[in-house]
């Protein structure tokens, strides 16, 4: 029997053992391959990080000190009584001390700087180095991080190198999570026994038995399944990981991987990002108490969140400090001092995860023209944009407030809105809102709401006329007409259903007379008007129908902004930009998006058009604007048929803003451009504290007074007169006049007086401003 067993079963046992060993070997090899592939390659999919524009400071910059402080808070700076490290600031009345954070720009890295800034009223008086009061002519505040483009798991982290990790953080983690980290080989029997005894003594689970290496394996390679098979696999992989990689490399990976909290849909991973999220500090600027707080959160990020559960977070911190003292990381006195520190000394940061969804949507669409989705979701690109955070927040708040007030006062409902603000000089998009609830992602009306533009198209008609030789004083006939196109009859009407006879071109634009506009457009030619619209920046389809002259074309707010940008920049076409540059994860510049400019209209014609748009605000459809110096701004209202769309596009000295109000179901709103969008525009401009537009006057412009009924030159004593700019050589002449050599006339003298008057007003404003500064300085000295 024994021989039979040896002869039959022993070979079977040996074969089974061999097969089992080979299978185990193959499995271990597969696990080793999995570890190497992940650990030697890219451990994490790093999202593209999107930044606002940096705040550039210099003496003389127009900036309110309160707005400056808000910008610092938006950038994640913390208010302190005494500034100790980068990212901190202190304020005394109108003076600031701050230490900027280092940041890598396309032109190179800018190091941290300790500076003092003094304001006087609404501008910067001086900037000096904090150490020796050396004058500083220019400084940049590192930009606010406004969002990220994530893969599906929405993990976010700031990856640290081993050299960037504070030794105190490593020691604290070892004291709390794995005291035998540098002695064991991936798993620790001693640690498991110690944790078991500790938990028995406490009567509850207060300490885990998993090593740091095991925790890293579980987080980086495995799922959350609680089975013996997964636990065994975790132990094997921990041994393999510890065998191949250095302890510091494992510790650094753990510090970057561990989950430490939630910011809406964004998961906060790693101590690098957690230190900024919870304390607005870089990892090396954390105090002992703050490190203990974060280390304590490893056990349960939700339960020990210092913002949501301060009492449990404080108790956990004290436990961590005690363990740090017991293991010799800190002494008893340091433990006591740290234990008396407040849990946090900063308020939650105002800018959360992807707070500006409409702007980020625009940025992503522009990036997708050059980058693959994988590049945006996993390669850690750094995207520097044109967003002005303060302008964006004011736009969001005021648009929502204006809509709410309109709905309440007029008993309306379901009114939506969208708006875009750009820099007149550069075409950079400073702010964009896609709906009244701007923090909610969804339908981006600024980019995707194609709505009839109404009278917003009229400046293109009048610009075409000015290029064809019309002047602001040219008479137009505002009288009914009937047109037949493709077998259909079209009879346009004015908004007031009235005819106004012969009117000057500027007045037809200011009052938005439909009949006069149609006649002008037909005279210069529909193809000419279409060409003008295209030169202004619109690339969509335009049908050669007379109704186009009154805005029978649908555009988005962004497309309207592009058209009006050409007006605001003096006739130069500038593609709207939301991105300045793109860098890779290491800070190397991949792309710069510079300013592109193409002159498409003569500055003289744009100047004349701008004057007409200023008349809109002074005496036309924009006269209802209820803000200071309302008549000095320039812009145009727009209303679609049936009062379904309310538009306004207007200029301040530095910005162009376009506002649209309407309903998503395209039902009437009962709002015209002047009763809806204009009001919202005014609220936005007033809160931005923008000054009226002051276009540069070309040398070839002269000013003449005309009679508003005959459109001929007249004197200053004529009460029915107005003063208009003209292109030299196109000045108004009386019927009896014939061209003759130019001599000095009464009109020339009047024109000179006008210039002197303008200069005097400008000097007076400057003198008043300087006087206010001197008075403020004296008051500060007296204090």
Burial string for 241-254 (b: 16+ CB within 10 Å, else e) reads: bbeebeeeebbbbb
Distance from C-alpha of 313 to C-alpha of 404, rounded to nearest angstrom: 40
3-state secondary structure of 478: strand
3-state secondary structure of 511: coil
Locate tokens 């041994």: which residue? 239
What phi, psi does 125 have (nearest 5°)? -85, -50
The Cβ-side half-sphere exposure at 127, using a 13 Å CA radius, reads 19
Catalytic one of 148, 402, 455, 578: 455
Locate tokens 């300490």: which residue? 207
Picking from 286, 72, 80, 297, the residue whose alpha carbon sits closest to that of residue 165 is: 286
Distance from C-alpha of 420 to C-alpha of 418, rounded to nearest angstrom: 7
Q: Residue 174: which H helix or E strand, with range? A: helix 167-177
Residue 598: CB atoms within 10 A of its CB come to 11
Picking from 711, 731, 706, 720, the residue whose alpha carbon sits closest to that of residue 475 is: 711
Residue 332: CB atoms within 10 A of its CB come to 8
Q: Are 596 and 574 in contact (CB under 8 A)?
A: yes
Distance from C-alpha of 200 to C-alpha of 206, rounded to nearest angstrom: 9
Is 438 in the active site? no
Instruction: Give helix 288-297 / helix 332-339 axis angle, nearest 10°.
Output: 80
Residues whose CB falls within 8 Å of the CB of residue 482, separated by 6 or more in sequence, listed in order: 489, 490, 491
Distance from C-alpha of 705 to C-alpha of 715, rounded to nearest angstrom: 7
Q: Residue 78: which H helix or E strand, with range? A: strand 78-79
Instruction: Give helix 271-279 / helix 288-297 axis angle, nearest 10°.
Output: 120
Residues whose CB falls within 8 Å of the CB of residue 260, separated by 6 or more in sequence, listed in order: 268, 269, 270, 271, 273, 274, 294, 297, 298, 301
Distance from C-alpha of 94 to C-alpha of 67, rounded to nearest angstrom: 12
Picking from 683, 266, 650, 665, the residue whose alpha carbon sits closest to that of residue 443 is: 665
Catalytic one of 155, 177, 428, 618: 177
Walk across the sheet containing 382-385 and list its strands: 145-149, 48-51, 382-385, 579-583, 589-592
Q: Are 647 and 560 in contact (CB under 8 A)?
A: yes
Q: Are 400 and 661 in contact (CB under 8 A)?
A: no
Distance from C-alpha of 511 to C-alpha of 455, rounded to nearest angstrom: 11
**76 dihedral zone (left: phi>0; alpha: psi -120 to 50; beta):** left
CA distance to 66, 134, 285, 353, 727, per residue, from 96 (Å):
11, 15, 21, 28, 50
Is 275 in the active site? no
Q: Which positions are annotated as active-site residues?
A: 177, 455
């Amino acid at each position: 029997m024994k021989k039979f067993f040896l002869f039959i079963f022993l070979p079977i046992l040996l074969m089974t053992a061999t097969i089992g060993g080979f299978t185990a070997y193959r499995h271990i090899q597969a696990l080793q391959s999995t570890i190497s592939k992940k650990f030697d390659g890219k451990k994490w999919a790093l999202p593209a990080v999107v930044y606002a524009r940096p705040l550039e400071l210099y003496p003389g910059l127009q900036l309110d000190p309160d707005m400056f402080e808000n910008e610092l808070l938006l950038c994640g700076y913390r208010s302190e009584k005494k500034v100790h490290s980068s990212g901190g600031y202190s304020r005394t009345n109108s003076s600031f001390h701050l230490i900027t954070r280092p940041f890598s720009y396309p032109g190179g890295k800018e190091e941290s700087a300790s500076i003092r800034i003094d304001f006087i009223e609404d501008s910067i008086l001086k900037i000096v180095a904090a150490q020796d009061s050396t004058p500083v002519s220019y400084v940049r505040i590192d930009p606010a991080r406004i969002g990220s483009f994530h893969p599906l798991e929405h993990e976010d982290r700031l990856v640290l190198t081993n050299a960037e990790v504070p030794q105190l953080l490593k020691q604290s983690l070892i004291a709390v999570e794995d005291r035998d980290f540098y002695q064991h080989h991936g798993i620790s029997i001693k640690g498991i026994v110690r944790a078991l005894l500790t938990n028995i003594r406490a009567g509850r689970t207060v300490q885990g038995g998993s090593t740091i290496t095991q925790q890293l394996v579980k987080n980086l390679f495995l799922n959350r399944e609680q089975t013996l098979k997964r636990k065994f696999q975790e132990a094997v992989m921990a041994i393999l990981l510890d065998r191949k990689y250095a302890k510091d490399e494992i510790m650094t990976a753990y510090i970057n991987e561990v989950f430490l909290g939630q910011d809406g849909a964004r998961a906060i991973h790693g101590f690098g990002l957690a230190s900024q999220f919870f304390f607005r500090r870089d990892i090396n600027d954390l105090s002992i108490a703050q490190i203990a707080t974060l280390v304590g959160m490893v056990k349960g990020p939700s339960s020990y969140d210092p913002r949501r559960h301060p009492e449990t977070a404080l108790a956990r911190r004290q436990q961590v400090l005690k363990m740090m003292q017991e293991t010799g990381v800190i002494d008893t006195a340091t433990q006591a001092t740290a234990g008396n520190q407040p849990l946090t000394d900063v308020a939650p940061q105002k800018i959360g995860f992807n707070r500006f969804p409409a702007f980020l949507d625009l940025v992503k669409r522009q990036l997708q023209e050059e980058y693959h989705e994988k590049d945006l979701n996993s390669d850690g690109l750094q995207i520097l944009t044109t967003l002005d955070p303060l302008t964006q927040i004011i736009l969001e708040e005021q648009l929502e407030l204006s809509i709410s007030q309109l709905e309440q006062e007029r008993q309306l409902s379901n009114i939506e809105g969208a708006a875009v603000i750009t820099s007149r000089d550069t075409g950079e998009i400073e702010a964009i809102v896609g709906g009244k609830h701007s923090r909610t992602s969804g339908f981006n009306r600024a980019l995707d709401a194609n709505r009839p533009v109404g009278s917003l198209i009229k400046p293109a008609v009048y610009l075409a006329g000015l290029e064809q030789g019309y002047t602001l004083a040219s008479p137009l006939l505002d009288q009914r007409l009937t047109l037949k196109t493709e077998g259909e009859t079209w009879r346009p009407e004015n908004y007031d259903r009235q005819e106004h006879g012969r009117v000057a071109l500027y007045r037809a634009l200011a009052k938005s007379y439909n009949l006069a506009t149609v006649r002008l457009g037909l005279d210069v030619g529909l193809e000419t008007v279409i060409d003008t619209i295209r030169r202004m920046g619109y690339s969509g389809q335009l049908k050669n129908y007379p109704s186009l002259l009154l805005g029978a074309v649908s555009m988005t707010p962004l497309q309207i902004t592009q058209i009006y940008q050409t007006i605001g920049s003096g006739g130069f076409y500038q593609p709207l930009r939301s991105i300045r540059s793109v860098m890779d994860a290491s800070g190397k510049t991949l792309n710069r998006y510079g300013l592109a400019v193409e002159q498409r209209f003569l500055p003289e014609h744009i100047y004349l058009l701008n004057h007409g748009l200023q008349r809109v605000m002074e005496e036309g459809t924009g006269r209802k604007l209820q803000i200071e110096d309302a008549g000095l701004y320039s812009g145009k209202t727009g209303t679609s048929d049936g009062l379904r769309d309310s538009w306004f596009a207007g200029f301040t000295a530095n910005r162009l803003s376009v506002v649209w109000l309407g309903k998503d179901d395209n039902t009437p709103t009962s709002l015209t451009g002047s009763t809806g969008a204009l009001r919202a525009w005014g609220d936005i401009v007033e809160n931005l504290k923008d000054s009226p537009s002051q276009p540069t006057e070309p040398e070839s412009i002269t000013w003449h007074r005309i009679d508003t009924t005959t459109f001929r030159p007249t004197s200053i004593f004529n009460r029915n007169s107005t003063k208009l700019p003209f292109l030299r050589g196109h000045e108004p002449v009386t019927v009896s006049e014939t061209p003759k050599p130019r001599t000095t006339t009464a009109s020339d003298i009047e024109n000179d007086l006008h210039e002197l008057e303008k200069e005097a007003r400008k000097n007076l404003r400057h003198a008043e401003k300087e006087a206010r500064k001197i008075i403020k300085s004296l008051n500060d000295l007296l204090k």
